[in-house]
Amino acid sequence: MTLGENIVRLRTQKNWSQGDLADALDISRQSVSKWETDSSIPELDKLLKLSELFGITLDELVRGEEVPKTETAVPASFAPQATPEREKRRTIAGTVLLCTGAVILIFCLLLAGDLLAGLLFASPFFICGIICFSVKRRVGLCCGWAAYLCVDLYLRFATGFSWTTIFMTHLWTAQMNYARLSIAWVQFIGMVLMILCTVCSYRTLKLSATKKEVTWLIIGWLAALVVLPLLMSYGVMPLWRDDLHNYSNFSPYFFINVLYSYVRLALVDVLLVRTLAVWRMRREEKKANRNAAET
């Protein structure tokens, strides 16, 4: 019995999914899948955690000896949460968010009689509530992005400014209204914080630096940093040159600009996560090769 087959057997005995085991070890589910198919081998610290998690010796884990199906005490720091418990917490959070959104909507209707304003202020709660019921992993991250995009979209419509206004900080004067510049900085800081949260959420992800992966990363970064900005500046803007003279928050160019900003933001997010994942794998491979050379 191989190490991967043994991990599958022991995990099945515990009635854990690959996701449960990955959460217990603070790694990605893809890493567990590679272990179980013998595509990769766990590092020594992960082997030690696996042996403690399954309540067996390291020798039993590696050699694949049969282990009696007895309940063993699992350290709380390694034990994965039961899936029903996570689902229960998501259900409670989703219900609270939906109820909060409903209260805000009713409040706006009764006091102001404005359905549009009620939907505007309640939409982040409704969207996050739906996410809690439909998404199973990284619920907090998804809700964070949903809330940020709702607020960012409202600020763009309310002020007509995006975070790119911060590049005009050195040219700003009192006559140009510092409140708008402050809003732009709030948008920018919120975006940076969400990107950092996304990167931290995928901090255990590792990808092999295959030729295909590296090629797609290069193409992606070129598209995000060169192609899309050039297309926007010299392709889309000239088409709407007449519309720019009557620029408003409901002009076709405005909606295209907002869509462009969000598509580019999503692309940069994905590229950052995958680039760091490739870098982690390359770093581990170099470290393994250096250790092998020293021995």
**What are the tens digits of pLDDT across the range 248-268?**
555 666 777 788 889 999 999
* pTM of the entire predicted model: 0.66
CA distances, 272 to each of 48, 224, 244, 254, 287 (Å): 31, 11, 33, 27, 22
Residue-level pLDDT at 142: 92
More confident residue, 157 or 150: 150
What are the tens digits of pLDDT across the range 12-58?
A: 887 787 877 887 887 877 888 888 888 888 888 888 888 888 888 88
What's the average model confidence in pLDDT over 92-107? 92
Burial 244-269 (b: 16+ CB within 10 A, else e): eeeeeeeeebbebbbeebeebbebbb
pLDDT band of residue 64 (cuts 50, 70, 90) is: low
Which of the four pLDDT bands, split at 50, 70 and 90, describes residue 102? Answer: very high
Q: What's the rounded mean pLDDT across residues 79-108?
A: 81
Q: Using an 8 Å Cβ cutoff, are 138 and 95 in contact?
A: no
Of residues 185, 200, 260, 197, the one with CA closest to residue 224: 260
- Residue bearing the bigger pLDDT, 38 or 269: 269
Q: Which pLDDT band holds residue 71 (cuts at 50, 70, 90)?
A: very low
| 172-220 per-position pLDDT tens digit | 877 777 888 888 888 899 999 999 999 998 887 878 888 888 999 999 9
Domain boundaries, the chain: 3-63
Domain topology for 3-63:
434 Repressor (Amino-terminal Domain) (1.10.260)
Report d(CA 8, CA 54) in Å as an integer. Answer: 11
